[in-house]
């Protein structure tokens, strides 16, 4: 038991008028591994400085641009070690590269960028650096998502045949982007969001979850993207058939017009000797149909959970955990990786949290979906 100093970090975006910054900060804070020391919280200087003040960031470390922040923090002895990027999609690539060049580790919101070209350039930059890059596909932080992944890796359900993943939301069932809500506005705008709407915003989460849990590559997809709401420029419903490298088949559905659905991410994986099901609505339970075809429930940190997933828990079994704990697990794993690099310039091996490869793959998924849908569902390779 020795003191591990918290990671000093800064944030780009995430001003107090938005929502997502607060989740990131709470996740960073939950286990005490991070300390917020700097920020360029908004492109509006008033909001930026007010946010800094309310968050306890010293005024000289509240910046009006990310470029200035990268430069100044790099020059300080007590400068930040890591940065969290929570801007709209088109403003990921620039900050990422600036802070990378300034020698900082990166935690970046998904999808990686707004264009595939940006993503490829960023991928190169990260790959050639020795910095940690974490992409917040936060659902992979749930202990029972890990449990499913590990059981599949260990062959517990046999050869994978079917992977079904879905992520329905309903908040965009009406023309919400014309209601003045900022988060809805930029997501609906191709300039800021990129060419994908729902497919980029949450489809990439679902896709990554399918990949993360199954451990299988998706070779090709056939997609049908729809915009149900009049005048909407980007897709709001996404149906994708998938073919996996091992001959497995999958269905991915994600929607932002699924009436009254809040955030219904779920997966089902069927092998030739078992199956696993998990739903974000009830994330503390994983259903396992074993070789005898009995459906058994694995509870988070409960008697059937493996130590490897149980140790990701903060609370004892039976005390529900949720989104912020899952998010915090990614932050904690990132902190561990960053700390390992304080004494070494080599990236640790075997990192389980999502990184730059997952980010590029997500962008390829978006583009394959858009291309396939434009070609009336033609099967399209991801690579």
Residue with tokens 């001003």: 15
Please tell me the distance from the alpha carbon of residue 355 to that of residue 178, in angstroms, as a whole number.
Answer: 34
- Beta 266-271 vs 275-279: how paired, if at all? antiparallel
Is 246 a binding residue for a second copy by CB under 8 A? The answer is no
Query: Pick from 142, 158, 259: which is nearest to 214 by CA?
Result: 158
Q: Which of 117, 233, 317, 374 binds a second copy (CB under 8 A)?
A: 317
Please tell me the distance from the alpha carbon of residue 275 to that of residue 156, in angstroms, as a whole number.
Answer: 9
Is 53 a binding residue for a second copy by CB under 8 A? The answer is yes
Please tell me the distance from the alpha carbon of residue 291 to that of residue 10, in angstroms, as a whole number.
Answer: 49
Region 252-281 residues binding a second copy, contact defined as CB under 8 A: 253, 255, 257-264, 270-275, 280-281
Please tell me the distance from the alpha carbon of residue 313 to that of residue 301, in angstroms, as a whole number.
Answer: 7
Region 2-21 residues binding a second copy, contact defined as CB under 8 A: 2-6, 16, 19
Least Å distance between CB 156 and a second copy? 12
Q: Which of 175, 190, 215, 322 binds a second copy (CB under 8 A)?
A: 322
Region 194-233 residues binding a second copy, contact defined as CB under 8 A: 222, 224, 226, 228
Please tell me the distance from the alpha carbon of residue 96 to that of residue 102, in angstroms, as a whole number.
Answer: 10
Region 279-308 residues binding a second copy, contact defined as CB under 8 A: 280-284, 289, 292-299, 302-304
Token pair, residue 113, equals 């960028």
Q: Which of 37, 237, 333, 361 binds a second copy (CB under 8 A)?
A: 237
Stretch of residues binding a second copy (CB under 8 A), selected from 54-62, 115-123, 192-200, 334-342: 54-62
Is 319 a binding residue for a second copy by CB under 8 A? The answer is yes
Residues 6+ apart with CB under 8 A from 349: none
Is 45 a binding residue for a second copy by CB under 8 A? The answer is no
Is 31 a binding residue for a second copy by CB under 8 A? The answer is yes
Q: Which of 314, 341, 351, 382 binds a second copy (CB under 8 A)?
A: 314
Is 379 a binding residue for a second copy by CB under 8 A? The answer is yes
Token pair, residue 8, equals 């000093």
Give whichever of 121 and 379 is closer to a second copy, judged by the CB atom. Answer: 379
Residues 6+ apart with CB under 8 A from 382: 217, 218, 219, 220, 221, 361, 364, 365, 368
């Amino acid at each position: 038991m020795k003191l591990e100093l918290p990671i000093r970090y800064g944030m780009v975006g995430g001003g107090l008028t938005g929502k997502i910054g607060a989740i990131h900060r709470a996740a960073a804070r939950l286990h005490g591994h991070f300390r917020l020391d700097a920020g360029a919280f908004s492109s509006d200087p008033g909001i930026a400085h007010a946010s800094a003040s309310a968050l306890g960031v010293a005024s000289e470390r509240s910046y009006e641009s990310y470029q200035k922040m990268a430069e100044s923090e790099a020059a300080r002895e007590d400068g930040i070690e890591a940065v969290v990027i929570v801007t709209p999609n088109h403003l990921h690539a620039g900050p990422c590269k600036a802070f990378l060049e300034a020698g900082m580790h990166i935690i970046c919101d998904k999808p990686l960028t707004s264009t595939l070209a940006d993503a490829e350039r960023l991928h190169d930059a990260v790959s050639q650096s020795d910095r940690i890059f974490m992409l917040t596909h936060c659902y992979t932080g749930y202990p029972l998502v890990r449990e499913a992944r590990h059981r599949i890796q260990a062959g517990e359900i046999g050869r994978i045949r079917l992977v079904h993943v879905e992520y329905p939301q309903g908040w965009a069932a009406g023309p919400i982007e014309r209601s003045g809500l900022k988060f809805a506005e930029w997501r609906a705008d191709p300039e800021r969001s990129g060419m994908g709407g729902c497919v980029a915003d949450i489809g990439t989460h679902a896709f990554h979850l399918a990949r993360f849990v199954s451990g299988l590559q998706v070779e090709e997809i056939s997609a049908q993207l729809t915009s149900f709401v009049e005048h909407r420029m980007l897709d709001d419903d996404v149906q994708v058939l998938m073919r996996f490298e091992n001959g497995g088949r999958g269905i991915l559905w994600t929607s932002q017009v699924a009436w009254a659905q809040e955030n219904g991410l779920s997966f089902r994986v069927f092998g030739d000797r078992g199956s696993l099901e998990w739903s974000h609505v009830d994330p503390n339970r994983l259903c396992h149909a074993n070789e005898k075809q009995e459906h058994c429930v694995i509870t988070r940190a409960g008697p059937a959970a493996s130590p490897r997933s149980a140790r990701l828990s903060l609370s004892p079994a039976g005390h529900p955990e949720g989104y912020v704990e899952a998010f915090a697990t990614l932050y904690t794993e990132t902190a561990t990786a960053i700390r390992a690099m304080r004494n070494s310039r080599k990236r640790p091996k075997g990192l389980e949290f999502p990184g730059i490869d997952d980010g590029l793959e997500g962008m390829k998924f978006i583009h394959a979906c858009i291309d396939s849908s434009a070609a009336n569902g033609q099967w399209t390779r991801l690579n």
